[in-house]
Structure 1
Amino acid sequence: MAPYSGERGHELLQAQAHVWNHLYHYVNSMSLKCAVELGIPDIIHNHGRPMTLSELVAALKINSSKTPYMSRLMRLLVHLGFFDVEKINGNNGVEEGYVITPPSSLLRKEATVSLSAFVLEELDSSLLTNWNFLSSWFQGNETTAFEKANGLSFLEVAAEIPEINCLFNDSMASDAQFIISIVVKEYGQVFDGLRSLVDVGGGTGAVARAIADAFPHVKCTVFDQPHVIAHVPKSTKIDVVGGNMFESIPPADALLLKSVLHGWSDNDCVKILKRCKEVIPTKEDGGKVILLETVVNGDTDDYKSMETKLCFDVMMMLASTGKEREEHVWQKIFIDAGFSDYKILPVLGLRSIIEVYP
């Protein structure tokens, strides 16, 4: 070990800060969860103007003795970019008032497009516990760390425990409403020429309803497991079919799979896509599979995007046999499933629209 020096001391302190920064990342997540649970984004938005700390505490109807603690929570959330502060003239002279930012606007429970349910599901205590089994999973023989912790796969647990099933469905519907609103408004050309579409693994139907509303001429069907489609709201605009995508899929001009394949192994993805190919027309007749998935690209992804994609990859490793994939991995899957061509549109932030042609 090199003798101690001022330079080495500086390096050690930087290394400690790096360790601490990542060690306490969970504080950011859990503070965000707290804000969503308390409804702070909605309260500040509905206030209609910058909201002082005392006004926020009063609106939350919490004991005034908690005011200093709320100030500290909000200070962190402001630092993280979830809220901002503006100077205002108040009863006590110039004060600071909280305002929402684009990230916190997505966390309003009352918003048309909201990720609040997604936050609450991902940070639910019953799911976070599974991370404590990651190291022992590496040393064991279970398929996933989730299975190590629970004795069953995530899908099996969701099928047996209604609370987990509803939490997961609400989370997926929250994300679906968010992403499909952008696809429909800005990239609706992917639905051009279609007369029918099946949303494979469509959950509670948020995506299919959005497409049916935007393109009334497209007959939309939600296809998922029976215990999932039991929670699909009744609608005259969409059809609902229960089943197993490994066995058969309803036919249509196009099939849509949003964040489905990243939950399965490469071999399982090939099996699913082979089923897809069986029920769509030829490429010349407009047949295709539309994927909304992540494509990992170390050459073009910025640091933050890459970090998020890699975190998602490890999260998928924890709970499933799936992963986040580079383009060359996707390409091999498509070829092995018998498809002739594909096109990637990297237009959805962390995710892409991938059109796969038979």
Structure 2
Amino acid sequence: MGLEAREELKNQELDDLALVWSHMVASTDSLVLKWTLDMSITDIIHRHGEPMTLSQVGASLPVPCGNYDILRRLMRYLVHMKLLRAQGDDLYHLTSASQFILVDDAKSLVPFARLIQQGDVEGRCQALCCLLEAKGATSAFETVKGEDMWSHAAKNAEHNKLFNVAMACDARLVTPALIDGCRDIFQGIKSLVDVGGGTGTASRGIAKAFPHIKCSILDLPHVVETIPDYPDVERVAGDMFSFIPRNDAVMMMKILHDWDDEDCVKILNRCKEAIPKEGGKVIIVDIVLDIDEGHEITRTRYAFDVIMMISTGGKERTEKEWRKLLLNAGFSQCEITLINALQFAIIASP
């Protein structure tokens, strides 16, 4: 073997080693992000209105800073994560990504981060291992808690609030992307029900963008009772497995990924009963795994498949799986549109 070939093998080995190490220490990113949110690092700099020195950040923390070397090293890691930008050795700027971890920003993902970060990582890993052998439990959450997530949320007001706020913050990002990327699908629709619409972020956004559409939310009673009384959105308490009110369109944003194929077909059958045979639409906003795979966001889409496995027993689906699912539920047409979001718009017609 020539010198050049041996050098190439060495470089490949180093690349492989770096890949494995990056996965091994990936939990550090989550740990530092949690610390960043707990200490309000980005919010402190944002409120200051201009870049801050290390000493200024330390003096503004919610707890006394007694070790500036530790703070400097953590700030350095945030720069490596591209959540901050350093100027010289001692001046820190926000980046364009920082807006997503500002508590009060309209695009904040902080509540969703809190939802993902809760719980014991080791315990969830053990539960995943148990799922390989278990026949009764449908998710790691159920294995650990002894009940599914929906039953737990109905009895646990704190978890219910955390979940609903997290879903609302995600909907604030996804809804404008849906409206901008698929404006034509809302033309001709006079009424729309947002199934599993939570606290109404998505349906209110659609009602504002399309005043001609009468919007409503269908969700479980313990969710509906937390929804404020919005004049442009009707609230309906109910179970989507039993009944979906008749409308020109049914929208489900991040709903079907919570369920296995059998349950999804049941839900979709209810959707089909609720819309007109001519002109009726089911608007599904969910991840499609194998489209746009070249984008960096692809890893997050695959990660959500594991998150669904842990939390609900559901799954993220490929294009082929989505088309098969909709065909099995009696839908003859399916159009998948890429929007500026983690999710895609999947439009199904009878």
TM-score (norm 2): 0.91
In the alignment, the residues of structure 1 paired with residue 253 and residue 339 of structure 2 have an alpha-carbon distance, to the nearest angstrom, of 14
State whether residues 199 and 226 of structure 2, in contact with CA within 8 Å, keep that contact through their aligned partners in structure 1: yes
Of residues 297, 301, 307, the one that matches 2:299 is: 307
Deviations 1:183-209 (A, max 9, x none): 234533332222111000101111111
Q: 1:1-358 residue pairs with structure 2 within 5 A?
A: 16-87=17-88, 96-125=90-119, 129-141=123-135, 142-283=137-278, 286-297=279-290, 300-302=292-294, 304-358=296-350
SS of structure 1 residue aligned to 2:229: coil
CA distance in 2, matches of 1:346, 1:185: 11
Residue number in structure 1 paired with 2:3: none
Residue 351 to residue 61, structure 1, CA distance change in 2 (3 Å): closer
Q: Within 2, Cα distance between the matches of 1:259 and 1:228?
A: 16
Q: Partner residue of 1:92?
A: none
- Give the Å deviation of 1:177: 1.1
Deviations 1:63-113 (A, max 9, x none): 2423221211111111111111235xxxxxxx6422222222011111122
| Counterpart contact for 2:178–2:339, Cα < 8 Å | no
Letter in 1 for 2:201: A
Q: Alpha-carbon deviation of 1:281?
A: 1.4
Measured in 1, the distance between the counterparts of 2:12 and 2:348 equals: 49
- Please give the alpha-carbon distance, in whole angstroms, between the structure 1 residues aligned to 2:121 and 2:151: 14
Cα root mean square deviation, aligned: 2.2
Task: Compute the displacement of 1:225 (Å).
Answer: 0.6
- Specify every segment of 5 or more residues in structure 1 that has no aligned partner in the other structure, as ranges: 88-94
Matched-pair contact (CA < 8 Å) for 1:50–1:85:
no
Alpha-carbon distance in structure 2 between the residues aligned to 1:262 and 1:127: 22
Counterparts of 2:85 and 2:10, CA distance in 1: 36
Q: Could you tell me which amino acid in structure 1 is paired with residue 129 of structure 2?
A: S
Distance 2:51 2:336 in 1: 42
Distance 2:131 2:155 in 1: 23
- Report the Cα distance in structure 2 between the residues aligned to 1:303 and 1:112, rounded to whole angstroms: 24
Task: Give the conservation status (yes or no) of the 8 Å contact 2:181–2:340.
Answer: no
Provide structure 2 residue ranges, at least 5 long, that are not aligned to the other structure: 1-5
Residue 96 to residue 266, structure 1, CA distance change in 2 (3 Å): same
| In 1: Cα distance, 2:8 partner to 2:277 partner | 66
Cα pair 2:140 2:313 within 8 Å, conserved: no
Measure, in 2, the Cα distance between the counterparts of 1:27 and 1:242: 42
Counterpart-to-counterpart distance in 2, 1:61 and 1:164: 25
3-state SS, counterpart of residue 106 of structure 1: helix
Measure, in 2, the Cα distance between the counterparts of 1:128 and 1:344. 37
Assess, with a 3 A threshold, how the Cα gap between structure 1 residues 327 and 188 changes in structure 2: closer, same or farther.
same
Counterparts of 2:98 and 2:313, CA distance in 1: 32
Quote how far apart the aligned CAs of 1:8 are: 8.6
Letter in 2 for 1:81: K
Rounded Cα–Cα distance in structure 1 between residues aligned with 2:184 and 2:347: 12
Answer yes or no: is the 8 Å Cα contact 2:260–2:314 preserved in 1.
Answer: yes
Letter in 2 for 1:291: I
Q: Is the 8 A contact 2:177 2:339 kept in 1?
A: no
For residue 177 of structure 2, give the secondary structure of its aligned residue in structure 1: helix
Contact 1:199 1:255 in 2 (8 A): yes
CA distance in 2, matches of 1:170, 1:37: 17
> In the TM superposition, what is the alpha-carbon distance from 1:6 to its structure 2 partner?
10
Per the alignment, residue 90 of structure 1 pairs with: none
